[in-house]
Structure 1
Amino acid sequence: MKIFIKNDQILACMTMKDETKLEANNMALHSCKNEANIIENRKRIAAEIGASIDDFVFPTQTHSANFYKVTEADKGRGATTLDDAIANTDALYTFEPDIVLCSFSADCVPILFYHETANVIGVIHSGWRGTIQEIAKKFFQHLIEQENCSVKGFRIVIGPAICKEKFEVDEDVASLFRELGYAKECIHFNQEKNKFFIDNQQTIIQQLQLIGIKQHQIMIDDTCTFQHEAGFSHRRDKEKGRHMAFIRRSKSCQ
């Protein structure tokens, strides 16, 4: 498990592939061989961080630009069944403590964040479809404009994802990134392969900077899920398995 932030207030982590664990440490009920294995993996992680599986909240991700405000009443949703997961959303946030917000990925970009003064935390799943819909930009604009969060207070982690060297696409996808108007430097054409290569992480950083978030507020883990043995990669393997990125704020942060 990668630990990005760990102090008396914030815990931000991401599980990694581990062949010694059930289903190689897969955390996704929607992409597994046996749901009981996934629940057992989740319970183990909960115990490791001193929480209960009923403190976790999971979304049903649809590569959308939708986000959802989690409250105490949502605790446990999606933890042991897909039936009550937060539907049709790719980002979660909460102002309430001791809730573990979760996101899944297997090449897509996971984003974790907290705010230094507003006591908000959140997770975002931004695959290329989410990125061209500007989910990160829209989400943080919402927090700034509707939740009164100052832009300078955000601290953001961009987690492991497929790197630009392995994110190979055709003109149809490349054109969607070009249409954003600010991602030109994130698109690379390989003449020999006649393919485009996209840097999804850097495109997201461009989106964050457009709304005033500075580089020093962003932590980037450049581990490539395609190249690394501890990475679940849907593009590489076409198999079941997902990482879980998660964040929790403790009551001591109030």
Structure 2
Amino acid sequence: MKTKIYYNNEQFIAGTTLKDMTALEQNNMALHVCTSPDNVINNRKKLAATLQCDVNDLICTEQTHSANFHRATLADKGLGALQQETAIPNTDALYTFEKGLMLCSFTADCVPVIFYNEQQGVIGVIHSGWQGTVKEITLQLFQHLINTEHCNPQDFHVHIGMALSQQKFEVDADVYEKFHRLGYADDFMYYNAQTTKYHIDNQQTVKKQCELAGIPSHHITIDQTCTFLSDEGFSYRQDKKSGRHLSFIMRK
């Protein structure tokens, strides 16, 4: 099973699956975009075995580019793991205080965010495509964790996973305006006069949202692998029928 592990210590394991030309459907992990659900379930079972857990430990959501998040409990175990119909609806971020739950986020160019807080024992994943970023899903979730769950922002560690690079993330003026209106994304955009397109660094914008929530910048790491340019990346912009990476974190 082709994976990239970001954290693996006594408390947490986290990482992402990678595109693999030798695997079923190139190691696609998403039931909502696949040739055969059985292939995806097979890939998920292989991942679970690699991580020494069960496929029914996974919790998956129906991602809709919203700013909605959900606190996962043991009752949610297995939702969306084997059937898309049971995925938590209309949700783009998960967090939990429980052990033994694998929180999942699916991307192919969008920004996956994985985080943990050892002091409070909370973990989470966020799916932040450009729509989620302009809706400030990451900032909203961290503000909720700080204000409602009483987490200290200084205690969070955040990993921003592989995504579409600024070079390949070309947009028209309408999307540029949405980022511009955030008031803090201008440093992460440039205009190409030859193509009349704007280029946005979605990863750096998400990092800024983490910082605005009070998370120290030295607690934030970024995987700068471009999903479009890398052979190990699934890219929707490159291929509209692309599979999806699964970014995951589990508290042991």
Check whether TM > 0.5: yes
Match of 1:129 among 128, 131, 135: 131
The aligned residue for residue 150 of structure 2 is 148
- Work out whether residues 124 and 136 of structure 1, in 8 Å CA contact, stay in contact via their aligned partners in 2: yes
SS at match of 1:235: coil
- Do the aligned residues in 2 keep the contact of 1:144 with 1:150 (CA within 8 Å)? yes
Which of the residues 201, 204, 207 maps onto 1:205?
207
- 1:186-243 Cα offsets, whole Å, 9 max, x none, are 1110011111000000011111111211111101100000110110000011113000
Distance 2:212 2:128 in 1: 17
Out of 58, 62, 68, which is 2:64 matched to? 62
8 Å contact 2:113–2:161 — kept in the other structure?
yes
TM-score by length of 1: 0.98
Rounded Cα–Cα distance in structure 1 between residues aligned with 2:156 and 2:100: 19
1:4 — aligned with what?
Answer: 6
For residue 216 of structure 2, the aligned residue among 214, 217, 220 is 214
One-letter amino acid matched to 2:46 = R
Q: Which residue of 2 aligns with 1:26?
A: 28
Which secondary structure state, in structure 1, belongs to the residue aligned with residue 238 of structure 2? helix
Q: Does structure 2 retain, via aligned residues, the 8 Å contact 1:33–1:240?
A: no
- Listed as ranges, the matches of 1:1-254 within 5 Å are 1-250=3-252
Query: Is contact 1:156–1:218 with CA below 8 Å preserved after alignment?
Result: yes
Query: Contact 1:32 / 1:38 at 8 angstroms: preserved in 2?
Result: yes
Where in structure 2 are there 5+ consecutive unaligned residues? Answer: none
- TM-score w.r.t. length of structure 2: 0.98
CA drift of 1:70 comes to 0.4
SS at structure 1 position matched to 2:127: strand
- Give, as a single letter, the amino acid of the residue that structure 2 aligns with 1:237: D
For 1:173 and 1:38, locate their aligned partners in 2 and report how far apart those are by CA, in whole Å: 33
3-state SS in 2 of match to 1:239: coil
Distance 1:205 1:50 in 2: 31
Q: Aligned partners of 2:151, 2:15: CA distance in 1, in Å?
A: 23
Please give the secondary structure, in 2, of the residue aligned with 1:32: coil
Contact 1:16 1:25 in 2 (8 A): yes
> How far does residue 104 in structure 1 lie from its aligned partner after superposition?
0.1
Q: SS of the counterpart of 2:6?
A: strand
SS at match of 1:236: coil
Distance across 1 between alignment mates of 2:38 and 2:208: 40
Q: Is the 8 A contact 1:68 1:92 kept in 2?
A: yes
Q: Determine if contact 1:62/1:88 at 8 Å carries over to the other structure.
A: yes
Percent of pairs identical after alignment? Answer: 52
Contact 2:59 2:78 in 1 (8 A): yes
**Alpha-carbon distance in 2 for matches of 1:219, 1:241:** 25
Q: List structure 1 segments (4+ residues) > 2 angstroms apart after TM superposition.
A: none
The structural deviation recorded for 1:116 is: 1.8
- The 8 Å contact of residues 60 and 86 in structure 1, kept in 2 or not, is answered as yes
Letter of the 1:116 counterpart = E
